[in-house]
Amino acid sequence: MTHVLTVSPIRRATCRALSLTASSLAAGVMTAALTLPLRPLMAQDMMTVEVSRGYALGAGDVLRLEFLNRPDIQLNIPVELNGYANFPFAGSVLVAGRTIEELRAELPVLLDGVVLREEIGDDLRSNNVSGSELILSVFSYRPIVVAGDVAVPGEVEFTVGMTARTAVFKAQGIGSVRNGASGSVNLFRTRAEVGRVVTRHAVLSALIDGAETIGEEDLVLPPNTGLTPANLVDRANSDLALERAKINQEKSREQMRIDSAAQRISSSKARVESLTDAEAEERENVGRLDALMERRLVATDMLNEARRNALQTSEFRHKASDEAVNAQLEWEELLVTSRIEDINRQQTWRTEVAALDGELDVLMVALAAAWGQDATATVYRQTLAGVMRLTVGMDDMLMPGDIVELDQTWVGQ
């Protein structure tokens, strides 16, 4: 089965006219942007503009085109460096500086005359594509760049709703904080410690309760930590699996010792039974030879040999009986030891949980103090009016393509 998109000549001329018009408008805007100097703005000022108009697409964004009547056909269309996107059915269309809503409004014009042909066996079916049957969306956005006092500067994948704080987290935190800069309130390290305590608390609680998995409802996560429960749950379940593997290995060794003692009990008892039967036969033989000796039908040496064999068999039986008793005692001792180990584990876990509760209280006090700092970052944003320099709070939202810069004085100064 194959699909072919064809375009009418009239629609090609319409698309070229749209592209030329958009190019002229963009050129005028870009000329004006070059004359504008960098100027600091507050984040809320630019955010108001972005929200009212919509996000302006740019090079690095990837669009997705889907057909309602053919969900199996999906086209990913990247926006090139020159700001154009090469639609397979419309040629190059200027995208940079335009919103997704503006492009959606032009879809009926761009796709006028497009025919979707489908080959099924020897049949060729043609269907005109209607603008109402199309879905145009943003498949992926331009990455943002985090620079300055971060542990790992560079590109960070943009997600809708990303804040400056989230971007810093993805850059592995504040560099000076991770390196232990003196005088800084270690916000990120405190948050990491809160995450560690909450995760460990969940793991220990699961071990105590015998739970197989950990859910978000099992986390003792205080409010206003900025931590993502889903990430903590994933980490907690990984740690729980490792702890259970370690415990299972220890229990496996204990069980092997218990099974070995039980095997010795069985073999010792079987030997005692065998020697008991042999001893009975030896005693019966001694009695028979003793009767024959009275009638002087056998020699004295033969009777003495039979008595020695009976005595030796009796000694072997007593020794086997002692071994069976010792194996039984060892088996019982191993069972008691295993139960004591289980109790000790439970006690250790409960003691650690109590300590973690106290540690979490202390960390939340430190975190509350750290959150009180008036932290800001500098964001450079490319807009239709040029590059804008913004001062943003750490919980302000970013836009695709932003450059986030942190000074070393971000924390604790």
Indicate if the pLDDT at residue 105 is higher than 90: no
pLDDT band at 175 (very low <50, low <70, confident <90, very high): low
- Is-contact 192 405, C-beta < 8 A? no
Query: What's the pTM?
Result: 0.43
Per-residue model confidence as pLDDT tens digits over 41-99? 444 444 444 444 578 898 999 999 888 877 888 889 999 999 999 887 778 889 988 89
Indicate if the pLDDT at residue 203 is higher than 90: yes
Report DSSP letters for 364-384, one per residue. Answer: HHHHHHHHTS--EEEEEEEET
- Taking the C-alpha atoms of residue 263 and residue 257, their distance in angstroms, rounded to an integer, is 10
What is the SS3 assignment for 147? strand
Q: How far is CA 10 from the centre of its chain?
A: 52
Q: Does domain 2-40+54-140 have CATH number 3.30.1950.10?
A: yes
Structure tokens given for 91: 């040629």
- Taking the C-alpha atoms of residue 200 and residue 341, their distance in angstroms, rounded to an integer, is 21
Indicate if the pLDDT at residue 346 is higher than 70: yes
Domain 142-185+373-413 -> CATH class:
alpha beta
Indicate if the pLDDT at residue 189 is higher than 80: no
At 329, the amino acid letter reads L
Structure tokens given for 78: 């990247």
Indicate if the pLDDT at residue 195 is higher than 80: yes
